[in-house]
Each structure stands twice: as structure tokens, then as C-alpha cells.
Amino acid sequence: MNVLVIDENRIRASIIEAGLSEAGHNVTLICDINGIARRIAEINPDVIVIDLGNPNRDMLENMFQLSRAVKRPVAMFVDRSDLASIEAAVDAGVSAYVVDGLKKERVKTVLDVAISRFNAYSKLARELEEARGELENRKLIERAKGILMRSRGLSEEAAYALLRKTAMNQNRKIADIAQSLITAAGLLESGEE
């Protein structure tokens, strides 16, 4: 696994690097955070470990924004923290936020937990997005059925059967046919005005 370690302090970074190297991971170390987003894109790591020591609010916020953007497991080590920082880390999608726990022996376990948590969160996010998409498709189909029921005097079942048959004949999804019908009905209504 390719792990990117971000730490401005080379001594602390070497602790993380040693723990990950002993676990058999390929480690890339970045000690200068200027242009970090571009460098992450170039390196394309599987996991990111950020060690901030005693970060100020601006540094934490920058790292939280980075965490939101990279869509990868992120483990963050800090020496001290407060409730607001912990909540911000969780909101940013940091997979593991470890306070005062930087020890070579713990790094691999923390990384494993971060990956597991990231995968669980990603699965939930995908399922939520799929459910939202299905709900939106159902709304489109219901609207299209309503248009067909009004314009052609069809029953709900007959309107759905027509949408389904059209979708099968055109090798398209019912939701796509419904969207086309809604768009066409909107054009016809605006042309009557």
C-alpha cells in the first residue's frame, strides 16, 4: 500500500515512516505543505497520514479542507485537541483522529482503523446517493404517469405500462423516458402561452 505522510517535523515523520515501513508499506514523506494538493494528485497515495503536532486553527482548517477533497482514508495525529477540532475532523471526513498517540507501534493499527472506517463511510455515502437517485427517479416516473393520465385519459397502471414499454422499445431506462416526457410536456405547455 502506498502511504503519504505529511509532517513538517522530520523527527516525528520518521516515527510514522518507521512504523509503516516495518508493516511493509511504501511510504512517501512530505515535510513542506506548500502546493500539497497538487503533490497529492501526483503521488496518488492509497492512504494519507497527517501529523500536525500542535496545530493552530488555520492549519487544522487547511488540513480538514484537504481531507474533504482527497476522497481517501486520512489518519491525523495531533498532540493536543479540543472538542471543536475533533468535531471539525469528523465533519471533514478524517478517518482516524489520534490525540497524543504517536508511537511507532500504533501507527499501523491506526492506519488499519482509518482504512476500515473510510471504507464503511464510503459504502454508506454510496448507498445514500443511490437511494437519493432512486427517489428522484420515482418522482420523475410519478410526474410522467400523471402527464399521461391527464393527456391520454389512462389509468395509473396503463400509464406506467406505456412508460415501461417505451423504455424497453428504445432500450432506455424508464426514468430517462419519464424525463423526456416531462421535458416535452413542459415545451408544449410553454408553447400554448
25-81 pLDDT, tens digit each:
888 888 877 777 888 888 888 988 888 776 666 676 777 777 777 788 888 888 777
123/158 Cα distance (integer angstroms) = 37
Q: What is the pLDDT of residue 174?
A: 95
Whole-model pTM?
A: 0.64
Domain with CATH 3.40.50.2300 in the chain: 2-102
| One-letter amino acid for residue 82 of the chain | D
Domain with CATH 1.10.10.10 in the chain: 130-192
Residues 6+ apart with CB under 8 A from 137: 173, 174, 175, 178
Secondary element (H or E) of residue 74: strand 74-78
Its CATH class, for the domain covering 130-192, is: mainly alpha
- Is a pLDDT exceeding 70 seen at residue 181? yes
For 16-25, what is the mean pLDDT? Answer: 84
Which CATH superfamily includes the segment(s) 2-102? Response regulator (3.40.50.2300)
Q: What is the mean pLDDT of the chain?
A: 85
Cell 391520454 belongs to which residue? 152
Query: Contact 147/166 with Cβ under 8 angstroms?
Result: no
Higher pLDDT pick, 42 / 139: 139
